Amino acid sequence: MAAVTSPDLRARRRFHRRLLAWYARHGRDLPWRRTRDPYRILVSEIMLQQTQVDRVIPKYREFLGRYPTFQQLADARLPDVTRAWYPLGYYRRAKHLHGIARETVARYGGRLPDEGAELLRLGGIGRYTAGAILAFAHRKDAALVDTNVRRVLGRVFLGARRLARLRGERTMWDLAESLVPAGRAYDYNQALMDFGATWCTARKPKCPRCPMKTFCRSYDRAGA
């Protein structure tokens, strides 16, 4: 597939304006949005991998009550951490989180780095998680691509057919990076994820009420 041309300034501003206005009205009040602590944001991001928000919320609070800092998590035995993770499943995530805590304490004095390259050197942190830490904890202009973001950006800027033919993630990451508004990455990324999770959903998107419908390539092709 040919490289995607970055949307022009006018298109970016229109998308930002409508998405952020939607988020101001419909954004979810989630506990990890009340903190800038990199540790707490990391815990939420690892828990949210392949797990629905409603299941994560009570376990997030319980887990932080038991392990409130990198140091306390690093000092814990892995079997105890795994038991504390129950019933979220995908227990490899608990092992990764425990390993990140130990490495962060050993190499960085218990403080996560604020540079992407350094974050990616920590085992268990990939490009998405690194971006989330940079945008949500350090307020840097970092892009994120998860399932929801991919679906929203793909539908709006590529169209359903082109999105279906997309192979690999480089194109989507390039598109996502071109769209991050300077100084607004926190709200923008939270809005994008909420929009994909609750509005531009996989099976029943709310197209007739969508603020993007006048320029969404998927909506236009559907002829709705």
Q: Which residues are catalytic?
A: 45
| d(C-alpha 19, C-alpha 192), whole Å | 7
Q: How remote is the C-alpha of 153 from its chain's centroid?
A: 13
Nearest-5° angle of CA 183, CA 33, CA 10?
35
What Å distances lie between residue 223 and 48, 152, 205, CA to CA? 35, 18, 15
Exposure b/e, 153-166, CB count within 10 A at least 16 = b: bbbbbbbbebbeee
Please name the residues in contact with 73: beta carbons below 8 A apart, sequence gap of 6 or more: 67, 81, 97, 98, 101
Give the gyration radius of the chain's Cα atoms.
18
Residues, the chain = 224
Triad 66, 70, 76: Cα angle to 5° = 55
> Which of 102, 131, 100, 97 lies closest to 114, judged by CA?
131
